[in-house]
Amino acid sequence: MKTERRPRRFLLRNLVLHFRPTTVPEPTLKFTFTWGLGGMAVVLVMLQIVTGVMLKFVYEPIATQAYASVIHLQNDVPFGGFIRNIHFWSANFLVVAVFLHLLRVFFTGAFHAGRRFTWVVGLILFFLVLASNFTGYLLPWDQLAYWAVTISTGMLEYVPGIGLRIQHLVRGGPEIGQATLGIFFALHTAVIPILMGGLMAFHFWRIRKAGGLAVSRPPENEPDAAPASVPVVPGLLIREAVVALLVIAFVCLMAAAIDTPVGAPANPGLSPNPTKAPWYFGGFQEMLLHFHPSFAVFVIPAIIFFALLLVPYVNLEETGAGIWFASRTGRRTAAIAAVSAVLFTGLLVFLDEFYMDWTGWMPDVSPFLSTGLIPAAGCFVVVAGCYLSARKLFSATRMEALQAGFVFLTVSFVVMTLTCALFRGQGMRLMWPWP
Ligand code: HEM
C-alpha cells in the first residue's frame, strides 16, 4: 500500500508548535519589545553544549594534567583554540543575555498571573547559568582560575552558622585541590546541564501555555482594541532564525579575534595581587570592601533574592504589563532612579575608600552593627526613599515605583561590579584603569 509522504514543512511546523502557540500577538514580534534576549540565551546555551562536548574529548579533569591538556588543546588540536574561545565567549555573553532578559521581563511587567511560575523558574535558571560559569572557571587550573575560585569560595565562609560547612562541601575539603576539580567538573559537565535542559523545557512550556508573551491589554470597554494575532510560522520563526544566526556570527568573530585568557599553571603558594573573583561576582567582592562580610555575601543578597522571588505574588497593578516601564511616568522615574544610583553609589564608594571609618566613629559598637546593620539599613532606607518619592512626587503606581526601586538597585550593583573589575588595583585599592 502506498503511504503518502508528509511534506517537510508540515514536520517543521509541527515541531515548532510543540514549543510555541500557533499564533502570537503582533506587538511581540517587534524586536525592541524583547530584544530577542530569551532566544539569544537559548542559542548561547546550545553553543555551550556543542563546544563543551567537543572540549571533553581532550580535557583531563586531573589537577596534575588539566593545565597541560588545555595548552595541548589550544596549541596542537586543529581548531582546538577556536572551539575553546567559542565556549568562553558564549559562556560570558550568556550571563549578560540572561541578566538582560530578566530585566526586560521585569521592566515590561511580564510576571503577573499566568507567568508567575515562569518567572520563578527563570530565576532558578539564572542561578544555574552563574553556577555553570563559575564551575567552568576552575577547569583550566591556571593561576587566574585557582585564585578566583579561592576568593569566591572564601566568601562562603561568611554565611552565618553554616558557612564553613558549605565551603568545605563546595571545595570537597578545606582547600582547593583535586577534590574541588572533580566536583566542579561533574557539576559543570553533567549536573548543571541536565538541570538546565529540564528547566528550560519547562520554561518554554509555561510560556506556550500562557499564550506567548505578555502584551498590554485593551481597556474592558474597548475589546476591539485587542492586538491582532499573527501565525508563529513564519512570522516569529524567521525573526528567531535571524537573531540566532547573528548571535552565532558575533560569537565566532569574537572567538577568532580574542583568545581565552590562560595564565601560568595554578600555584597554591603564590597569590596574585590583586586577586579578583570572576567579573560577575565582582559586585559582591566590592560590597565586601564596604560592609561587614556577613551582610555583603549573605544578608543583602538573600533579601534581594527573596524579594525577587516573591515579586510576582505581590499585589501590583497589571495595567502596564507588556509596556516598557508601564507608562511615561514609569520611564521618567526609572531614568531618575538610574542617574541617582550612579551618583549615590559612586560617591559612597569614593567616600568609604578615603573618608568614612565606621568602626572608628563607633568604637564601642560591634563591627556587625557598625559596618553591617547600620550602613545596610541606611542603604535600604535610600531604596525605600526611591519608591516613596516615585509614589509621592510623580504619582507613580505601585508597579512603577517598584520598578524605580529595582532600577536603583540594579544600577548600583552594576556600578559596584564595574568598580571592582576596572578601578581596583594592588591591595584592592581604588585606582584609574589606565597608567
Ligand atoms: C537560561 C536562561 C533562560 C532562557 C534560555 C530563557 C528563555 C526564554 C525565552 C526564549 C522566552 C520567550 C522570548 C523572550 O522573552 O525573549 C522567555 C520568556 C520569559 N522568561 Fe525566560 N529564559 C531564561 C531565564 C529567565 C530568567 C532569569 C527569568 C526571570 C527571572 C525569566 C523569565 C521569563 C518570563 C516571565 C518569560 C515570559 C515573558 C512574557 O510573557 O513576556 N527567564 N524566556
Which residue's entry shows cell 509555561?
Answer: 206
pLDDT at 311 over 80: yes
* Res 10: pLDDT: 65
| For residue 4, pLDDT beyond 60 | no
Could you give the C-alpha distances from 161 to 34, 153, 165, 300, in angstroms and in order?
42, 16, 9, 16
pLDDT, position 223: 62
Q: For residue 407, give the H/E element and its range.
A: helix 398-422
Contact 54, 83 (CB under 8 A): yes
Q: With 60 as the cut, is the pLDDT of residue 1 above it? A: no
Instruction: Classify residue 213 by its DSSP letter.
Output: S
pLDDT at residue number 258:
97
In one-letter notation, the amino acid at residue 71 is: I
Q: Whose CA is nearest to atom 33 of ligand 1?
A: 119
For the chain, the average pLDDT equals: 91
- Which residue's CA is the closest to the ligand 1 atom numbered 12? 38
pLDDT of residue 26: 86
How far is it, in rounded angstroms, from Cα 376 to Cα 382?
Answer: 10
Query: Does residue 373 surpass a pLDDT of 60?
Result: yes
Residues with CB under 6 A from ligand 1: 34, 37-39, 41-42, 45, 98, 101-102, 105, 110-111, 115, 118-119, 122-123, 125-126, 129, 200, 203, 207, 210, 213-214
Give pLDDT, residue 73. 96
Instruction: Please tell me the residue having the least CA distance from ligand 1 atom 8.
Output: 38
pLDDT at 192: 98
**CA 109 → CA 305, 322, 324, distances in Å?**
18, 6, 8
pLDDT tier for residue 12 given thresholds of 50, 70 and 90:
low
**Looking at residues 343-360, what average pLDDT do you find?**
92
pLDDT for 358: 83
CA dist 65 and 58 (Å) reads 11
Alpha helices in 162-266 (DSSP H): 163-171, 178-186, 192-209, 232-257
Quote the Cα angle for 60-65-66, to 5°.
55
Ligand 1 atom, smallest distance to 123 CA: 30
User: How many C-alpha atoms does 25 have within 13 Å on its Cβ side?
Assistant: 16
Task: Say what the pLDDT of residue 11 is.
Answer: 64
Give dist(CA 240, CA 50) in Å, integer: 19
Protein residue with least CA distance to atom 26, ligand 1: 122
pLDDT, tens digit (0-9, with 9 covering 90-100), for 13-47: 666 666 777 888 888 888 999 999 999 999 999 99
Q: 20-29, 131-140, 339-348: which has the minimum mean pLDDT? A: 20-29
Q: Is the pLDDT of residue 212 over 90?
A: no
Banded pLDDT at 333 (limits 50, 70, 90):
very high
Percent of the chain with pLDDT over 70: 94
User: In this structure, how many other beta carbons lie within 10 angstroms of the beta carbon of residue 83?
Assistant: 21
Per-residue pLDDT, 225? 66
Please name the CATH architecture into which domain 17-216+229-262 falls: Up-down Bundle (1.20)
Reported pTM: 0.92
Q: Ligand 1, atom 41: nearest CA belongs to which residue?
A: 213
- Residue 243: band (very low, low, confident or very high) from pLDDT cuts 50, 70, 90: very high
Which residue ranges make up each domain of the chain?
17-216+229-262, 273-435
Q: Output the pLDDT for position 224.
A: 65
Distance from residue 92's CA to the centre of ligand 1 (Å): 18
Cα 138 to middle of ligand 1, angstroms = 28
CB 65 within 8 A of CB 178: no
Query: SS3 of 222, please?
Result: coil
Mean pLDDT, residues 267-284 taken together: 92
Q: Is the pLDDT of residue 115 over 80?
A: yes
426 has pLDDT over 70 = yes
- Mind listing the pLDDT tens digit for each residue in 144-172? 999 999 999 998 999 988 999 999 999 99
**Ligand 1, atom nearest to 322 Cα:** 41
DSSP per residue, 271-319: --SS----GGGHHHHHHHTTS-HHIIIIIHHHHHHHHHHHGGGS----T
